[in-house]
Structure 1
Amino acid sequence: MDINKILEQNKIFFDSGGRIGKRANLCEADLSSLNLRGLDLSSLNLRGATLCGADLRGADLSHAKLINADLRNADLRHANLYRSDLSSANLSDADLRGTNLYGANLRGANLRNADLRDANLREANLHDVDLRSSHLSGADLYCVDLSTVNLRNTDLRGVDLSSAELPESTFIIVGEKYFISISHGEYVQVGCQLHTIAKWRQFTKQEIANLGGDSILEFHHRLMKIIDFYCKDGECIE
């Protein structure tokens, strides 16, 4: 498949008002591992397309239809996905650092293990998205609804969630010695360590020291108070 010729004919089609050229239809096309870096793919129909491992760095995919597209391991660094439709797309392990996802429809998408550091997710639809084990450091989540998002194991360090709507029983604790997040009332992340509440309670002093030395060992007592406050009776934290 000569993607450049397809895109050239598509441009001619629109520039001529449909008189000449050919409108591109890449629905269910196999574009795996192709070099699509910097290409204008805006408004294209890529529904169900396979783009596994494709190089899409800096590509313009604004308003593109990528419903059910397979973008596993795709490199989308600094790509423009402004108001694109990525509903039910598979973006697991994709590199989305610095990507513009403003207003994108990601409903039901799989973003497991995706790297979203410094991505723009303002006004994006993240309903029922799987963000497990993804990296969100520096991402812009202003006014984003995360209430139905699976955030298990997600790296939220450095993310401003002050205006985001979080899932029920999910808390981000700031101002402590370590970054702390409590998700679904079951998992607690302290720095880069994520364990169930039960596991945090069961750790011996030696096991805690092995996680992060004397520093985290000294903090463990306060951590237990924080967990009790958010997950038990709401007792005061001294």
Structure 2
Amino acid sequence: MPNPTAAMIVIGDEILSGRTRDSNAHHLAGRLAIQGIDLREVRFIGDDRATIIATVQELSAQRDHVFTSGGIGPTHDDITADCVAEAMGASIDVRDDARAVLQAYYDARGTEMNGARLRMARIPGEATLIDNPVSAAPGFSLGNVHVMAGVPRIFEAMLDGLLRRVEGGRQVTSRSFLLDRGEGDIADILRQLAGDHPDVSIGSYPAWTGAGYQVAVVVRSAEAGDLDAVATKLREAFPEARE
């Protein structure tokens, strides 16, 4: 049975403008690989209502899971929760369980629960909360869409809890080989290997060392036997390969 598939939507004008560097996509990719969930694409979009709604609807229909980051804070441009609710045909309002979580957090710090902070308790009625052990404001799962914060430390903490209840598949493993060659010297053999072993992903990544070309060949598969077979053929073709 094939592994579940996933897509990620990174939401925020600050990402597209270059003001903020995204690290959440990199973190998610690594965690999903361990979970046995195949991340197929990442979309970067701005804080535009129509774009968010259309992107959520499109990817939710195509993938088993959609993970979002960004746009669930207390300010006027934090519109992700409302957009996801609309995209999935759900109503959204302040929910008592989310309000209680936030109230306890702010009471413990002697901070007022004002209207802006209360916006972070707006959760679709059908959604399951995603715990936020860092700053309390919860994310949520609605259908196959998982909505999380954009701040990396909070996103990572939310993801830790979420993945405990998301069923994965077979873990994909990889092996890497370094060759003192250019890609043109190895392309034909890699093409043949890829055709002979369709369940193995084979990538080549060239670099210039200053003294000459090098290429790293990375092979990935959920099937250990297929991975070993490709690794053996690579070593036969390129005895000098360093793993």
TM-score, scaled relative to structure 2: 0.25
* Bigger RCO of structures 1 and 2 (CA < 8 A, at least 6 apart): 2
Structure 1 or 2: larger helix share? 2
Structure 1 or 2: larger strand share? 2
